[in-house]
A and B are shown apart, each in its own frame.
Chain A
Amino acid sequence: MNRDSPLARFARDFSESRLALAGLGLLAGVLLLALFAPWIAPQNPYDLAKLDLLDARLPPGSKAGPGLTLSMYALGTDGQGRDMLSAILYGLRVSLTVGVTSGVIALTIGALAGVLAAYLGGRFEQLLMRVVDIQLGFPAILVALILIAVLGRGTDKVIVALVTVQWAYYARTARSAALVERGKEYIEAARGLGLSPARIVLKHLLPNALPPLIVVATVQVAHAIALEATLSFLGLGLPTTEPSLGLLIANGYEYLLSGKYWISVYPGVALLATILSINLVGDQLRDVLNPRLAK
């Protein structure tokens, strides 16, 4: 590979900001922790038989019970004697899974709809964009809340709500990117060659409309994680058997007023670290992938 391949240039531009690199490092750390949670966590927080109620609400640094691989509760325990560190690592997994899954589905639906609208034009485009405009006129939290109220609770329903909230952003971005690309000569050439519309949309338009979509995707995944946490905090999110970070924070709420801060604060720190690292990376991606700022 020669030194000036697009990827190398991209990596060089990206690493110009130290803050963004720090964000990338933090994000990598968060992802690794979530991925390897079952091997890292001192305890399986879902195994109720292993929990000792006598160990409930111990402050950080207390001596741990026999079931743990660590000699102390590094971040304290919750109301049921669960090791907070383990609960947070597993919660991170749940939060990230829901956020990324909904992001990928929304990206797929939104990008296809947007690119198709740009390619086909006419009635389909008008209708789609009208729906997108109306939906984006309402705050995400309101749309998600109403959907959950209507659909009922459960992981799949939360994902449906998050996808519904997000797809419109992708559709709008994909359409405007594809509109620019559609006028270019290579699309004309592809049409001239008699390629099928499906092939032109999927193989030619979509890949070239991708950079702005990636930028939107980073922002949206961060939003999705925050939104899921908010819904779970309100008691309208994921089931309580496998708590996400938002639910962990909600569980600690009742102990907060008596000064037992760790049950709510540490899951919040994990949530903040996740969202912050994604936003830092996304911020830099926006600058690097923006053709108007290209040097």
Chain B
Amino acid sequence: MGVYALRRLAQSLVVLFVTSGLVFAGLYLVGDPVEILVNPNADQEEKLRTAAALGLDRPLLHQYAIFLKGAFSGDLGRSFVFGQPALEVILERMPATLELAFLAMLISVALGIPLGLYAGLRPHALGSRAIMAGSILGFSLPTFWVGLLLILVFAVQLGWLPSTGRGPTEAVLGVPLSLLTWEGLRHALLPATNLALFKLSLIIRLVRAQVREQALLDYVKFARAKGLPRSRVVGVHLMKNILIPLVTVIGLELGSVIAFAIVTESIFAWPGMGKLVIDSIFQLDRPVVVAYLMVTVFLFICINLVVDLLYSALDPRVRLGAAK
């Protein structure tokens, strides 16, 4: 186990190193941030001064070396636009994104497991067919378009929920959270629903497929033959075995929800890191884009590792790092 975690860590460092280098060089080639930052009427001298102040007058390799040196001590550079350390800018917006991702996952799990169970246990019922048809629709709906429809219906026409922004926040252990107040929850409901739709369809299909597969196995027949009530067979015996693949998928999808929040945040003007990175790409704010990438890749690596460890803890048959 220890060797396994170490090898994964080494691999992750390589990934971080390679992506940072690629993005660093790529953004350098795409355009000159100085042109965007200074007043269009500024003369050549002022442009040069700005470039020097941001360290952009040095050769690319030199700039990258400075970045790497800083990165090892936790300094990912200063944002060209905000003038603050890039990592700080990202971390300020992280709670908003994680909050949204968490609520979206909660919605999709809370609805997806019961719906999937029902569709799997009664595959031929009319309700099950409706659920399955709905899940194909959920897969096919483009996320950003659904976001627009949600705004159109619930904010513009019905006027029930606010269309943009995040509600008031309350500090919990120093982290600003908005889900604890009614107003904050109201703001989060539309974007979280938008983000949840795709995952909901995925979880429904996964649970259904698992239930149909597992229900045929001998242990279910045996439990029934023992005369156990149906609720216990489904709720304990079946559920335990379905949970194993489900935990993996939910874990991995949490990462994808964080990435997909880029789209949802842009539509609903949710002040999270996703919206920040889109803005930064447009403004060629390289330190923020690189820092976002480092932070997200790091998040993913952590999530993947936790999922792997959890998987082996839940399923004793899985041995991590065993020789092939």
Which residues of A does B touch, CB under 8 Å? 19, 134, 137-139, 141-142, 145-146, 149-152, 222, 226, 229-230, 233-236, 246, 249, 253, 256-257, 259, 261, 264-265, 268, 271-272, 275-276, 279-280, 283
Residues 4 to 36 of chain B near chain A (Cβ within 8 Å): 11, 15, 19, 22-23, 25-27, 29-31
Of the candidates B25, B29, B140, the one whose C-beta lies within 8 Å of that of A279 is B140
Q: Is the CB of B262 within 8 A of A268?
A: no
User: Chain A contacts of B289 at CB under 8 A?
Assistant: 149
Does B311 interact with chain A (Cβ within 8 Å)? no
- CA–CA, A226 and B197, complex, Å: 15
Q: Which residues of A contact B139 (CB under 8 A)?
A: 279
Q: Which residue from A150, A151, A265, A275 sits with its C-beta under 8 Å from B140?
A: A275
Q: Is the CB of B23 within 8 A of A146?
A: yes
Closest Cβ neighbor of B278 among chain A residues:
A234
Interface residues of B (CB under 8 A from A): 11, 15, 19, 22-23, 25-27, 29-31, 133, 136-137, 139-145, 148-149, 151-152, 156-157, 163, 255-256, 259-260, 262-263, 266-267, 277-278, 281-282, 289, 293, 296-297, 300, 304
- Flag if A271 contacts B145 (CB, 8 Å): yes
Contact of A141 among B27, B31, B157, B263 (CB under 8 A): B263
B142 touches A137 (CB 8 A): no
Q: How far is the CA of A259 from the CA of B152 in the complex (A)?
A: 8
- Interface contact A265-B142, CB-CB below 8 Å: no
Do B282 and A142 touch (CB < 8 A)? Answer: no
Taking a contact as CB atoms under 8 Å apart, the answer to whether A249 and B144 are in contact is: yes
Contacting A280 at CB < 8 Å: which of B27, B136, B141, B262? B136
Inter-subunit contact A256/B143 (CB<8 Å): no
Given A236-B281, A253-B148: A272 and B140 interface contact (C-beta under 8 Å): yes
Known: A145-B262, A149-B26. 19 other contacts (CB 8 A): A139-B260, A141-B256, A149-B23, A149-B289, A150-B22, A150-B23, A229-B142, A233-B144, A234-B262, A235-B282, A246-B144, A253-B148, A264-B148, A264-B152, A265-B149, A268-B149, A271-B142, A272-B141, A272-B142
Nearest A residue (CB) for B267: A253
Question: How far, in angstroms, from A235 to B300 measured CA to CA in the complex?
Answer: 26
How close is B164's CB to chain A, nearest CB, in angstroms? 9
Can you list 13 A-B contacts (CB < 8 A)?
A137-B304, A139-B255, A146-B293, A152-B30, A230-B263, A256-B148, A259-B156, A259-B157, A265-B152, A268-B145, A268-B149, A272-B145, A275-B142
CA distance in complex: A68, B163 (Å): 37
What is the CA–CA distance of A253 and B147 in the complex, to the nearest angstrom?
A: 11
A233–B143 alpha-carbon span in the complex (Å): 11
Inter-chain contact A142/B152, CB cutoff 8 Å: no
A150 engages B263 (CB within 8 Å): no
Closest to A225 in B: B142
Which of B26, B143, B296, B300 is A230 in contact with, Cβ under 8 Å?
Answer: B143
Decide if B149 touches A149 in the complex (CB within 8 Å). no
A-side interface mostly: helix
Residue of A nearest to B255 (CB): A139
Q: Please, which residues of chain A bring their CB within 8 A of the CB of B22?
A: 150
Q: A151 is contacted by which of B26, B141, B145, B297 (Cβ under 8 Å)?
A: B26
**Which listed residue, B26, B137, B297, touches A150 by the CB 8 Å rule?**
B26
Ranked nearest first, the 10 interchain pairs of A and B with the lowest CB-CB distance are A150-B26, A268-B145, A139-B259, A276-B140, A139-B256, A142-B259, A275-B140, A149-B281, A233-B144, A152-B30
- Cβ of B30 and Cβ of A283 under 8 Å apart? no
A149 adjacent to B27 (CB under 8 Å): yes
Q: Once bound together, how far apart are the Cα atoms of A152 and B19, in whole Å?
A: 17
Give Cα distance in the complex from A272 to B26, angstroms: 34
Give the complex CA separation of A222 and B148 in angstroms: 20
By the criterion CB–CB under 8 Å, are A257 and B144 in contact?
Answer: no
> When the two chains form the complex, which single residue of A134, A142, A151 contacts B11, counting CB atoms closer than 8 Å?
A134
Across the two chains, which residue of chain B brings its CB closest to A135? B15
Inter-chain contacts of A137 with B (CB < 8 A): 300, 304
Q: Are B256 and A230 in contact (CB under 8 A)?
A: no
User: For residue A275, which residue of chain B has the nearest CB?
Assistant: B140
- Residues from chain B with a CB closer than 8 A to the CB of A146 are 19, 23, 293
Contacts of B26 in A (CB 8 A): 149-151
Once the chains are docked, how many angstroms separate the CA of A45 from the CA of B139? 30
A279 to B133, CA, bound (A): 11
Minimal Cβ-Cβ distance residue in B for A134: B15
Query: Do A257 and B151 touch (CB < 8 A)?
Result: yes
A235 to B, closest residue via Cβ? B282
| Cβ–Cβ contact B300 & A138, under 8 A | yes
Q: Are B145 and A249 in contact (CB under 8 A)?
A: yes
Residues of A within 8 A of B148 (CB): 249, 253, 256, 264-265, 268
B144 proximity list for chain A (CB < 8 A): 229-230, 233-234, 246, 249
Chain B residues whose CB sits within 8 angstroms of the CB of A236 once the complex forms: 278, 281
- What residues of A have a CB within 8 angstroms of the CB of B266 in the complex? 234
Measured in the bound complex, the distance between the Cα atoms of B263 and A246 in whole Å is 13
Closest chain A residue to B293 by CB distance? A146
User: Which residues on the A side are within 8 Å of B29 (C-beta)?
Assistant: 150
Residues of chain B within 8 A of A275, CB atoms compared: 140-142
A272 to B22, CA, bound (A): 35
Q: If the complex has contacts A230-B143, A233-B144, A235-B282, are A257 and B30 also in contact, measured as CB distance less than 8 A?
A: no
Complex formed: what's the CA distance from A32 to B158 in Å? 38
Give A222 to B141 CA distance when docked, in angstroms: 11
